[in-house]
Chains A and B, each alone.
Chain A
């Protein structure tokens, strides 16, 4: 329930589209209007005052139009060392002409598909921004990996954003995989121009049996990028899903990552690292829902916060009564480098089964001065010693990236940021 009037400002968006998804869009709109924008005290957005931010920064609640995009710019923007296929998105619109489509995978613009049950995984009633996206998403991609198909090279989802002045981009991606399929996605985004953009993204991932899906994200768009994303996946029997989220810059970033474990003998992994400075605000809200017995989830998020930055971690583990023999592990560790940096961390475990192994822990501290002195006493420069210690703290998250080129690229970025590169 909300009394916020600000949702009215979204009405230009809500009126906009008519296409194959009118029915779902209506559902999304109704859901958005009944939920409204998060109120100041809304529990799920308590530490992330997104409504106030949007009110202040977004002046034009219209969808940003596609911009001029060249093959050259696309090529320049792909991270160094990448080998694989690239899907290009222009202010949310999928651009097949600039993309390099992988063989054996069905890919198309999402608005061209029919009979797609959008909102069935990322349900609009669970999050108001998921509802807003369903009501008014512009475009995005439909990606289907057929049964028994192993896509060995990663697929890069390369998104370009640019607004004329404070506009909204709402991409939506639907990924489905047949049984025994394997695929890795890497999200990279580029913000062009100086204007602030609000991106409201939804990714729905529907796995098959015995599938393996990796979903990696690099968030490094700079201080003019406001983003809310809802990434949700259904994990079926004998499958593995791994997400790694690396957040290095942004204005205000809210990541909702939801794993629904629907089949036994499956594994859901959520790893994240956030290195924040300036006034960057990054909020990772994760939720893993164990509904069946004999499944596992692992979660490790590490943060280093400097300056006036703020981090939020909220990790919910839900173990239903039927989900006996669940193994669920969660860990969130933070280092605060300045007195003005803030972290709000909240593990949230709800366990209804009685034969499970669940653990969680969160720590927040400063850099270990004794360790720093030890390194200095061996002749290592103070700044480098700090970098070495910070990388030692956070670097382990990157080990969970299986794509070598992406791991190397991110390691490099992280080390550069931490001053631990020699």
Chain B
């Protein structure tokens, strides 16, 4: 589904990603872990098409298409979804109108009829249950005055509405209390299928107790320096990132 080969990216001339290789197949959950500043969020942003980042080398194909060639909106329409680390508050734009516009533009791209108001609302009601999001929240402006947990739940709710094939969760767990974390994870798990895939970007292992990954990759200095199964995450939880840093840094100096 997703194939990343030797991806290099920089921001304002500073290289952040220095050769990422990753293969993600349908039905899989990949966790990307790593210390702060290792490039985790950059990877998520580059995949979603954030303009500040410049891809300097490498390629990314998604369902056979050159992902890097697509505008952010076309990536979303192809089925890439980024759950933001910091969802943006947009005063004056109603959550419902925004979502209906988004859903219908995505549907149009996929050759589907637009949803009328009634069908849209019933779809919304159905998906709202997934993340236990309150209708009142959705009658407000997009994310405006939402608590941290409400914002993250809204991200997963949007994901449910847009039905992506590749979901990238960028530090969705940061700042969540345990109850909110359970709700969010539960939503993500219910959306999992044999046809879609999930990339979970996180600093902490805690989230992976709830969203169980098939593969865990450790990112450090812009490269994947270690890959393994969920046991690797537990090892990181126990020992921290220092041992990996030392391993890599000493190898580099030899």
CB distance from B52 to the nearest CB of A (A): 8
For A375, the chain B residues whose CB sits under 8 A away are 90, 98, 102
Judging by beta carbons under 8 Å apart, are A379 and B71 in contact?
A: no
CB distance from A337 to the nearest CB of B (A): 17
User: Would you call B206 an interface residue if the criterion is a C-beta within 8 Å of the partner chain's C-beta atoms?
Assistant: no
A422 to B94, CA, bound (A): 14
Residue from the list A370, A374, A377, A379 in contact with B105, Cβ < 8 A: A379
A216 to B70, CA, bound (A): 45
Judging by beta carbons under 8 Å apart, are A391 and B92 in contact?
A: yes
CB distance from A400 to the nearest CB of B (A): 15
CB distance from B199 to the nearest CB of A (A): 15
Closest to A391 in B: B92
Mask for A377-391, Cβ within 8 A of B = 1, else 0?
111111011001101
Judging by beta carbons under 8 Å apart, are A380 and B101 in contact?
A: yes
User: A370-B88, A388-B101, A395-B92 are known contacts. Are A376 and B82 too (CB-CB below 8 A)?
Assistant: no
Dominant secondary structure at the A interface: helix
Judging by beta carbons under 8 Å apart, are A392 and B158 in contact?
A: no
Judging by beta carbons under 8 Å apart, are B87 and A378 in contact?
A: no
User: Would you call A396 an interface residue if the criterion is a C-beta within 8 Å of the partner chain's C-beta atoms?
Assistant: yes
User: Would you call A371 an interface residue if the criterion is a C-beta within 8 Å of the partner chain's C-beta atoms?
Assistant: yes
Judging by beta carbons under 8 Å apart, are A378 and B102 in contact?
A: yes
User: Would you call B77 an interface residue if the criterion is a C-beta within 8 Å of the partner chain's C-beta atoms?
Assistant: yes
User: A373-B72, A388-B98, A392-B90 are known contacts. Are A378 and B49 too (CB-CB below 8 A)?
Assistant: no
User: A373-B50, A376-B76, A379-B105 are known contacts. Are A393 and B98 too (CB-CB below 8 A)?
Assistant: no
Judging by beta carbons under 8 Å apart, are B50 and A388 in contact?
A: no
A371 to B51, CA, bound (A): 13
How many pairs of residues, A versus B, come closer than 8 Å at their CB atoms?
A: 74
User: A378-B158, A379-B76, A382-B71 are known contacts. Are A392 and B91 too (CB-CB below 8 A)?
Assistant: yes
CB distance from A385 to the nearest CB of B (A): 8
For B88, the chain A residues whose CB sits under 8 A away are 368, 370-371, 374
For A382, the chain B residues whose CB sits under 8 A away are 71-73
CB distance from A334 to the nearest CB of B (A): 15
Judging by beta carbons under 8 Å apart, are B102 and A374 in contact?
A: no
User: A375-B98, A377-B49, A379-B162 are known contacts. Are A389 and B73 too (CB-CB below 8 A)?
Assistant: no
CB distance from B167 to the nearest CB of A (A): 12
Judging by beta carbons under 8 Å apart, are B50 and A374 in contact?
A: no
CB distance from B107 to the nearest CB of A (A): 9
CB distance from B135 to the nearest CB of A (A): 20
For B76, the chain A residues whose CB sits under 8 A away are 376-379
CB distance from A331 to the nearest CB of B (A): 14
Mask for B48-89, Cβ within 8 A of A = 1, else 0?
111100000000000000000001110111000110100110
Judging by beta carbons under 8 Å apart, are B84 and A396 in contact?
A: no
Judging by beta carbons under 8 Å apart, are B90 and A378 in contact?
A: no
Closest to B48 in A: A377
For A396, the chain B residues whose CB sits under 8 A away are 92
Residue from the list A377, A389, A391 in contact with B82, Cβ < 8 A: A377
A315 to B245, CA, bound (A): 59
User: Would you call B248 an interface residue if the criterion is a C-beta within 8 Å of the partner chain's C-beta atoms?
Assistant: no
A195 to B79, CA, bound (A): 54
Judging by beta carbons under 8 Å apart, are A376 and B106 in contact?
A: no
A385 to B98, CA, bound (A): 9
Indicate the member of B50, B88, B158 with the most A CB atoms within 10 Å. Answer: B88
Judging by beta carbons under 8 Å apart, are B93 and A388 in contact?
A: yes
Closest to A381 in B: B73
Judging by beta carbons under 8 Å apart, are B72 and A389 in contact?
A: no
CB distance from B251 to the nearest CB of A (A): 37
User: A376-B76, A388-B93, A396-B92 are known contacts. Are A422 and B101 too (CB-CB below 8 A)?
Assistant: yes
A368 to B88, CA, bound (A): 10
Closest to A396 in B: B92
Residue from the list B72, B81, B98, B158 in contact with A376, Cβ < 8 A: B72
A392 to B99, CA, bound (A): 15
For A384, the chain B residues whose CB sits under 8 A away are 101, 105
Binding site for B on A (CB under 8 A): 368-371, 373-382, 384-385, 388-389, 391-393, 395-396, 422
Q: Can you name 17 extra interface pairs (CB under 8 A) apart from A373-B50, A375-B102, A385-B73?
A: A368-B90, A370-B88, A373-B51, A373-B72, A374-B88, A377-B73, A377-B76, A377-B84, A378-B162, A379-B76, A379-B109, A379-B162, A380-B105, A388-B93, A389-B93, A395-B92, A422-B101
Some 7 contacts from A to B, beta carbons below 8 A apart, are A376-B49, A378-B99, A379-B105, A388-B93, A388-B101, A392-B90, A422-B101
Q: Which 4 A-B pairs have the closest CB atoms?
A: A392-B92, A379-B76, A376-B72, A379-B106
